[in-house]
Amino acid sequence: MSLNLKRKFVRFLLGTTAVFLFTACGKPDQKEQYNGKALIVQKCASCHNLKMPPDTYEDEKAPPMMAVVFHLKDFMKISMNDEKFSKFIPFVQDYVINPSKDKSYCDKESLKTYGVMPSQKGNVTKDELEAIASYMYDFYDQQTYLTQMQKRAAFEALPKGEQLARSNGCFNCHAMNKSVVAPSFAQISKRDAKEIRDTIQNGSQGKWKGFHVMMPAFKSILTHGHILTLQQWIQKDTPQRQEESAVKNRVETPWKVKNDI
């Protein structure tokens, strides 16, 4: 080790010890830390569907939580994040313990269908509700939802073959026109159709010169139909793709709904 490197290493060690000492001296938290996400599942999921977006609208005992929060933010005209603390959290803390027809922002028709929410007094404390409401405010975010919907639309507009390639990680190794880790799809497109399908199904190594990674087998993941779609896409669509960046910019990664909390 050169002297310079050694010095750097010692400085690094000192640095990490300092961090350890620092955290070890931190005062233990006085107030109990509540986990809003765990609590909302435990206390509210029996009536409110918590997914964003909701996966079903059947057997509803209450409006989906996403609808509740979007609605509340709208009606309270919340525009700045500090109103989360001045308006949103206090409302939820109060409503869940003392719900009433007059306080509810729920429209009259929905109130009739669902009935007023039964008070959760005894079921949940004010401190727990603070954590729940804070989680609700952050998680059910309109902007995030909109972005996800736009990503989904962009993903669904791609050819089926490209959707499969993106959601199965083919682009971790392959690119449209550049051959780095694996031959490009443009190069591959000139190969025989059956050979292409066989390789996707069974994997391969050493067939192409200059690539050292192994092409994994996809037979346990993809159906014959999927493999056919991929092969046709590679041979039909990729040669026309001149600018790889144009594709990349459209959708970076496969779209995923934040359908879970």
For the CB of residue 3, give the shortest distance to ligand HEC in the complex, in Å.
41
Chain CA centroid to CA 35, Å: 19
For the CB of residue 172, give the shortest distance to ligand HEC in the complex, in Å.
5
- Position 157 contacts ligand HEC (CB under 6 A): no
Quick one: which segment of 15-23, 77-85, 194-202, 246-254 binds ligand HEC (CB under 6 A)? 194-202
Among residues 118, 242, 252, 253, which is the contact residue for ligand HEC, using CB under 6 A? 118
* Distance between CA atoms of residues 201 and 40, nearest Å: 44
Helix (H, G, I), strand (E, B) or coil at 8: helix
Q: In Å, how far are 175, 195, 197, 213 from 231, measured between CA atoms?
A: 15, 9, 6, 21
Contact 261, 35 (CB under 8 A): no
Q: Classify residue 141 by burial, with Cβ atoms within 10 Å: 0-12, 13-18, 19+.
A: middle
Among residues 92, 131, 158, 247, which is the contact residue for ligand HEC, using CB under 6 A? 92
What's the first-to-final CA gap in the chain, in angstroms?
A: 49
Quick one: which segment of 22-30, 39-47, 137-145, 243-251 binds ligand HEC (CB under 6 A)? 39-47
Quick one: which segment of 15-23, 24-32, 96-104, 138-146 binds ligand HEC (CB under 6 A)? 96-104
One-letter amino acid of 261: I
Q: Would you tell me which residues interact with ligand HEC (CB under 6 A)? A: 43-44, 46-48, 61-63, 68, 71, 92, 95-96, 99, 104-106, 111, 114-118, 120, 124, 132, 165, 168-170, 172-174, 182-183, 188, 191, 195-196, 199-200, 204-208, 211, 213, 215-216, 218, 230
